[in-house]
């Protein structure tokens, strides 16, 4: 029996919120997120939430600032309406790429956003594939960082011959993520090593690992411009790869990314619906979205019933 919970959705990814609600067999609470003429956000909760365990489903995806403010204002409305516990379910945590000071006089915006969410009144955070795992430590409240890998593994096993698969990290920084996926499907690992010998010269792509004749799967957490993955696919095919796929958790896909991927040598790019796919993504012939609704829904159910979510990491 599923515990009694309230699900509240912002405007960032309504289809995912509805899919999660369907999985949990719990309707979305009636909550209107409106805007005044000057785009100021106003939230009207139209259900009683006093003493309730409330889960707010909201990715802080494009437009990131609007969706972040929606999350904060919904949280404030819930807190002032005497909700017992508020869990922010953030499938895509925006600002995660600003997790350190890469150069002088720059912010650590991921920490600032974590502070804003905490001070707004959130009691717990549930998110997916943080760009940097240490962002969990930016929150002073319990934070669960789920992995999309089990969903991806299921998809890979259904569609590919695992005997000929090789998992590839598109850069040295993503080796840990790629190795974790390779381990799950018992596949070897290769790495694309990018380097620019001199300023103004194009990047040289060195492939670490024998990928000749292999079906290569590039693994990443965020695909934004798509340039890195498209270039990596070209380098892998030039070194003798049979075909190249990409599996990425968060399809940010800004600017001309969809056109770039469509015209690239990638056989297929698979993303999750942590960010609501645009129309351009939906009609792209080599981009496919898989759902994380059962994964997030199960995590919500276990959080509400105070049972372990550890098995969801396996």
98 is in an annotated binding site: yes
**Rounded average pLDDT over 283-291:** 96
Nearest to 312 by CA among 117, 112, 149, 143: 149
Other Cβ atoms within 10 Å of 173 Cβ, number: 10
131 is in an annotated binding site: yes
| Residue, of 205 and 93, whose pLDDT is higher | 93
d(CA 305, CA 294): 16
Active-site positions read: 194
d(CA 114, CA 117): 5
For residue 314, the model assigns a pLDDT of 66
For residue 82, the model assigns a pLDDT of 95
Model confidence pLDDT, tens digit, residues 212-264 = 999 999 999 999 999 889 999 999 999 999 999 999 999 999 989 999 999 99
Identify the structural domains of the chain with CATH numbers, from first to last.
6-146+293-313 (3.40.50.2020), 149-290 (3.40.50.2020)
Whether the per-residue pLDDT at 75 is higher than 50: the answer is: yes
Whether the per-residue pLDDT at 1 is higher than 60: the answer is: no
* Contact present, 138 and 101 (Cβ < 8 Å): no
CA-CA distances (angstroms) from residue 153 to 89, 216, 247, 264? 23, 14, 10, 24
Does this model's pTM top 0.85?
yes
Other Cβ atoms within 10 Å of 205 Cβ, number: 17
296 is in an annotated binding site: no
Model confidence pLDDT, tens digit, residues 187-225 = 999 999 877 666 655 566 789 999 999 999 999 999 999
Question: What is the 3-class SS of 30-48, one letter each residue?
Answer: CEEEEECCCCCEEEEECCC
227 is in an annotated binding site: yes
171 is in an annotated binding site: yes
For residue 3, the model assigns a pLDDT of 56
């Amino acid at each position: 029996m599923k515990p009694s919970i309230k699900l509240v959705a912002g405007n960032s990814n309504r289809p995912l919120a509805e899919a999660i609600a369907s999985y949990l067999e719990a309707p979305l609470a009636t909550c209107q997120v409106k805007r005044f003429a000057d785009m100021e956000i106003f939230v009207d909760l139209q259900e009683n939430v006093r003493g309730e365990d409330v889960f707010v489903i909201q990715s802080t995806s494009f437009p990131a600032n609007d969706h972040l403010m929606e999350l904060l204002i919904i949280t404030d409305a819930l807190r002032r309406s005497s909700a017992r516990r508020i869990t922010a379910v953030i499938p895509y945590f925006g600002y995660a790429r600003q997790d350190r000071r890469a150069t002088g006089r720059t912010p650590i915006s991921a920490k600032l956003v974590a502070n804003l969410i905490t001070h707004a009144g959130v009691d717990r955070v549930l998110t997916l594939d943080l760009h940097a795992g240490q962002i969990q430590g930016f929150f002073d409240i319990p934070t669960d960082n789920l992995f999309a890998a089990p969903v991806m593994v299921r998809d890979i096993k259904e569609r590919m011959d695992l005997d000929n698969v090789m998992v590839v990290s598109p850069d040295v920084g993503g080796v840990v993520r790629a190795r974790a996926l390779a381990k799950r499907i018992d596949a070897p690992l290769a790495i694309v090593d990018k380097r620019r010998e001199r300023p103004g010269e194009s990047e040289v792509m060195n492939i670490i690992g024998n990928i000749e004749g292999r079906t290569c799967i590039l693994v990443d957490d965020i695909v934004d411009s798509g340039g890195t993955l498209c270039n990596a696919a070209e380098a892998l095919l030039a070194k003798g790869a049979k075909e190249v796929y990409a599996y990425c958790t968060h399809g940010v896909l800004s600017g001309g990314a969809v056109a770039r991927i469509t015209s690239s040598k990638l056989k297929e790019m698979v993303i999750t619906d942590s960010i609501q796919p645009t129309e351009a993504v939906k009609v792209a012939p080599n981009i496919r979205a898989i759902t994380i609704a059962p994964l997030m829904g199960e995590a919500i159910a276990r959080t509400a019933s105070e049972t372990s979510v550890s098995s969801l990491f396996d």
